[in-house]
Structure 1
Amino acid sequence: MPTILGQNQYGKAENRVVKITRDGATHHIKDLNVSVALSGDMDEVHYSGSNANVLPTDTTKNTVFAFAKEHGIESAEQFGIHLARHFVTSQEPIKTARIRIEEYAWERIEASDANSQFIGADEVKHSFVRKGQETRLTQITYDGSSWEVVSGLKDLVVMNSTNSEFWGYVKDKYTTLQEAYDRILATQVAARWRFNWTDDEQKMPNWEKSYEQVKKHMLQAFAETYSLSLQQTLYQMGSRVINNRGEIDEIRFSLPNKHHFLVDLEPFGLKNDNEVYYAADRPYGLIEATILRDGCEPRIPVDLTNL
């Protein structure tokens, strides 16, 4: 039975581009997931395999990153308009360009009043927490005489757009990673903390206040730590909680390193001065550790998914 080609399109989906605009010490983030779909005179590539009218999908990916540098990202809408216009007007076979964009919003982490005398106001203008934020968790165990309360959160996404380095690590013949002296540090925090309350109703913590304070101390430690490793940042986050919240004896973190790699724009004649990044989702480094009050024994499971 004869067949004919119907509606079709092609392109590069889910290009994760992060644009950092540096206004002195104040940084602004645009974090987009851009999908490009192109259609037009594409019959022959389907019928005979001729690529004469095909703009490679890799080229559409490169265009997204190059435009982030050349045009900036004023808004998702404006960025999409620039891209769509470019593809249709620069390639005669392309008749229609569809640009779909998801934007991930970030808001700034506030500095702690206690540390304001040690850090300048400008120094926290590079620390962000993803809007939408976290899922709150708790597990209650009761054996008829005493209680164990372990609370926590997951999916709290945070980012420092500077004040992070990674260098001086072990190198062998398989090492290709370049040392970094100014990098994005981002992670998706999963944390559990164990209360030392057991059964005294009069000494029961204010659970709502405790949760908000734990989260505040974690975020402030993340923002205020000049990081030489994600492990160092993790330890500072846990120590800040233990030192400021007497009702908590133990906190465990699982921190995936949400890698952001500088895009090589030199093939397009553009210099990438720590502005345009590719946000990789996998594989990723996974940093995990427990921070304890001195003298306490760990009781939170190593695998937080089993809590």
Structure 2
Amino acid sequence: MSVKLGPNRYGKAETRLVHVVREGPVHRIKDITVSTSLSGDMEAVHLTGDNASVLPTDTQKNTAYAFARKHGVGQIEEFAQLLARHFVSSQPSIHHARVQIEEYAWDRAGPHSFVRDGGEVRTCVVHHDRDGRGTVVSGLTDLVVLNTAGSEFHGYLVDEYTTLPPTRDRILATAVTARWRHTGGTRSYAGSYEKLRAALLDAFAGTHSLSLQQTLYAMGERALSVCPEICEVRLVMPNKHHVAVDLSPFGLDNDNVVLQALDRPYGLIEGSVLREDAPDAGFAWE
């Protein structure tokens, strides 16, 4: 039997890092999770156990901490690029670096006091190659939204296993995961984030939905219309079902007033919206 080594990578997952800026009595914090993944000339370590080309995952963790102290942590996209370029440029055996960062927001409660924000998590994934090619994908996850009206679902395929009744009045709820790809040139990652987040929320609230797919497209289209620096948006939107409870045994009506929130199973709607002239991403988004 003839076999060979396929695509592979290794790294340090979920390094927790909190950076405090102490400039006078008013402090600022960045709370992030960094995951690094490296690939390149790794055949020997897999086939013979020769570790000469391997940068230990513990070193990758330490690099994140050291770079936070040396360079600070500004926009997570910029910090991820700094790490990715370092790994590729400093080690001949490393040909490609992937850095993923999640950022958790804190609200200020005083000059040096903070309350954890319960909202969505900001994300980014950066890829960088030895030849200088790279991509920056920003995003968010767990942006939980809900409409109590303005949502229908009917006219779908029906077969012998269909039991779902059509409806012209349903709760529409989802937890949005969005990722967007930047075009080239100078950009403000924070500015794009705020504009795109607002566009997603406006489109969700303002779209009379006949399906979650229609809402997904409207959200992506709105985001591209307000963010010319973005060329593609990918959305993952689980349908968080809310079912009216049958209260007839108790002599009570229930016109979508009392609902049971179901966590599983759930419909999962995924899709991308991109400009017709969007360049090829070059790398996988994951």
| TM-score category, normalised to shorter length | 0.5 to 0.7
Query: Is the CA contact 1:234–1:253 (under 8 Å) kept in the aligned structure 2?
Result: yes
Kindly indicate whether residue 280 of structure 2 is the aligned counterpart of residue 288 of structure 1.
Answer: no
Shift of the 188–300 alpha-carbon distance from structure 1 to 2, 3 Å rule, reads farther
1:297 shift after superposition: 5.1
Report the equivalent of 1:216: 198
Shift of the 301–158 alpha-carbon distance from structure 1 to 2, 3 Å rule, reads farther
**What SS does the aligned partner of 1:152 have?**
strand
Q: Relative contact order, CA 8 A, sep 6+: which one is greater? A: 1
1:274 shift after superposition: 1.6
Shift of the 216–195 alpha-carbon distance from structure 1 to 2, 3 Å rule, reads same
Report the equivalent of 1:261: 243
Report the equivalent of 1:229: 211
Shift of the 215–169 alpha-carbon distance from structure 1 to 2, 3 Å rule, reads same
C-alpha offsets along residues 41-75 of structure 1, whole Å, 9 cap, x if unaligned?
xxxxxxxxxxxxxxxxxxxxxxxxxxxxxxxxxxx
Number of equivalenced pairs: 169
Distance (whole Å) between structure 2 residues aligned to residue 299 and residue 173 of structure 1? 42
1:210 shift after superposition: 0.7
Q: Which amino acid aligns with 2:181?
A: R
Shift of the 242–175 alpha-carbon distance from structure 1 to 2, 3 Å rule, reads same
Give me the identity figure in percent: 51
**What SS does the aligned partner of 1:170 have?**
coil
**What SS does the aligned partner of 1:239 have?**
helix
Distance (whole Å) between structure 2 residues aligned to residue 172 and residue 216 of structure 1? 40
Query: Is the CA contact 1:152–1:193 (under 8 Å) kept in the aligned structure 2?
Result: yes
Kindly indicate whether residue 118 of structure 2 is the aligned counterpart of residue 136 of structure 1.
Answer: no
Shift of the 133–204 alpha-carbon distance from structure 1 to 2, 3 Å rule, reads same
Shift of the 184–212 alpha-carbon distance from structure 1 to 2, 3 Å rule, reads same
Q: Give the root-mean-square deviation of aligned CA atoms.
A: 1.8
Query: Is the CA contact 1:166–1:181 (under 8 Å) kept in the aligned structure 2?
Result: yes
C-alpha offsets along residues 118-174 of structure 1, whole Å, 9 cap, x if unaligned?
xxxxxxxxxxxxx82201001122335343110101111000000000001111111
Distance (whole Å) between structure 2 residues aligned to residue 301 and residue 255 of structure 1? 23
Distance (whole Å) between structure 2 residues aligned to residue 238 and residue 228 of structure 1? 16
Query: Is the CA contact 1:250–1:298 (under 8 Å) kept in the aligned structure 2?
Result: no
Distance (whole Å) between structure 1 residues aligned to residue 219 and residue 183 of structure 2? 19
Gap regions ≥5 residues in structure 1? 1-130, 198-202
Report the equivalent of 1:249: 231
Query: Is the CA contact 2:174–2:240 (under 8 Å) kept in the aligned structure 1?
Result: yes
1:234 shift after superposition: 0.1
Mapping for residues 13-52 of structure 1, pairs under 5 Å: none
1:246 shift after superposition: 0.7
Shift of the 251–264 alpha-carbon distance from structure 1 to 2, 3 Å rule, reads same
Q: Which amino acid aligns with 2:218?
A: Q
**What SS does the aligned partner of 1:286 have?**
strand
Query: Is the CA contact 1:194–1:300 (under 8 Å) kept in the aligned structure 2?
Result: no
Distance (whole Å) between structure 2 residues aligned to residue 301 and residue 227 of structure 1? 33
Gap regions ≥5 residues in structure 2? 1-116
1:301 shift after superposition: 8.3
Distance (whole Å) between structure 2 residues aligned to residue 300 and residue 254 of structure 1? 21
C-alpha offsets along residues 92-117 of structure 1, whole Å, 9 cap, x if unaligned?
xxxxxxxxxxxxxxxxxxxxxxxxxx
Query: Is the CA contact 1:292–1:298 (under 8 Å) kept in the aligned structure 2?
Result: no
Q: Which amino acid aligns with 1:135?
A: V
Shift of the 301–161 alpha-carbon distance from structure 1 to 2, 3 Å rule, reads farther
Q: Which amino acid aligns with 1:282?
A: R
Report the equivalent of 1:205: 187
C-alpha offsets along residues 169-192 of structure 1, whole Å, 9 cap, x if unaligned?
111111100111111000000111
Query: Is the CA contact 1:256–1:285 (under 8 Å) kept in the aligned structure 2?
Result: yes
C-alpha offsets along residues 164-223 of structure 1, whole Å, 9 cap, x if unaligned?
0000111111110011111100000011100012xxxxx421111110111000000000
Query: Is the CA contact 1:261–1:279 (under 8 Å) kept in the aligned structure 2?
Result: yes
Shift of the 132–299 alpha-carbon distance from structure 1 to 2, 3 Å rule, reads same
Distance (whole Å) between structure 2 residues aligned to residue 234 and residue 298 of structure 1? 22
Report the equivalent of 1:277: 259
Report the equivalent of 1:14: none
Shift of the 252–217 alpha-carbon distance from structure 1 to 2, 3 Å rule, reads same
